[in-house]
């Protein structure tokens, strides 16, 4: 094992610049402290980094923002389980709300698509069929205080 940065990036299906960006954010090891590999100043990466990058992808998919992901990683090092559990549960609850909202949105949209089908002329009832609300909130992290 001794991946270059571009190989690491490919392994996580992200760009080289994204790997660098994650390094700056503290999500991935940063080579700067010391040259660890062959060539002067050139860093090589290993399994650990590949796993880390995959974790970031999964955590992002679960809706954690990068700062939270950084915290999760540090928690993994310090072993603060209660905090980790708390974060997981908060996100889980938010996730449930988000899924519920998206499903409601899907219903509305499906209805719209049905009602809009048929003729090709005249205004679609887009605004009307969507207007009745029932749906609230955005991508999920925003409050839904209605």
Partner DNA sequence: CTTGACTCCGTACCATGGTACGGAAGGTAT
Partner DNA sequence: ATACCTTCCGTACCATGGTACGGAGTCAAG
List of residues contacting DNA (CB under 7 A): 4-7, 14-18, 20-21, 30-32, 38-43, 60, 65-67, 138, 142
97 binds, among its own copies, DNA, none (CB under 5 to 8 A by kind): none
Q: How many CB atoms lie within 10 A of CB 30?
A: 13
CA dihedral over 109, 115, 118, 122, signed as positive or negative: negative
Q: Which tokens is 84 given? A: 């980790």
124-143 footprint of its own copies as x/- string (CB under 8 A): x-xx--xx-x-xxxxx----
- Helical packing angle, 16-25 and 47-61, nearest 10°: 90
DSSP 5-24: HHHHHHHTT--HHHHHHHHH
Is residue 84 a contact point for its own copies (CB under 8 A)? yes
Which residues, at least 6 apart from 30, have a Cβ–Cβ distance to it below 8 Å?
23, 24
Nearest to its own copies of 35, 144 (CB atom): 144
Positions that interact with its own copies (CB under 8 A): 13, 51-52, 54-55, 57-63, 72-73, 75-79, 81-82, 84-85, 88-89, 91-92, 95-96, 98-99, 101-106, 108-110, 112-113, 116-117, 119-124, 126-127, 130-131, 133, 135-139, 145-146
């Amino acid at each position: 094992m001794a991946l270059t940065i571009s190989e690491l990036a490919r392994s996580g299906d992200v760009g080289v610049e994204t790997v660098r960006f994650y390094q700056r954010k503290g999500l991935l090891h940063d080579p700067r402290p010391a040259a660890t590999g062959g060539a002067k100043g050139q860093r090589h990466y290993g399994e650990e980094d590949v796993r880390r990058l995959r974790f970031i992808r999964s955590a992002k998919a679960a809706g954690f923002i990068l700062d939270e992901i950084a915290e999760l990683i540090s928690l993994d090092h310090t072993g603060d389980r209660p905090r980790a559990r708390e974060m997981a549960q908060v996100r889980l609850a938010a996730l449930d709300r988000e899924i519920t909202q998206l499903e409601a949105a899907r219903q509305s949209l499906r209805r719209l698509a049905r009602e809009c089908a048929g003729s090709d002329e005249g205004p679609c009832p887009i605004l009307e069929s969507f207007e009745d609300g029932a749906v609230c909130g955005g991508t999920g992290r925003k409050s839904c205080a209605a």
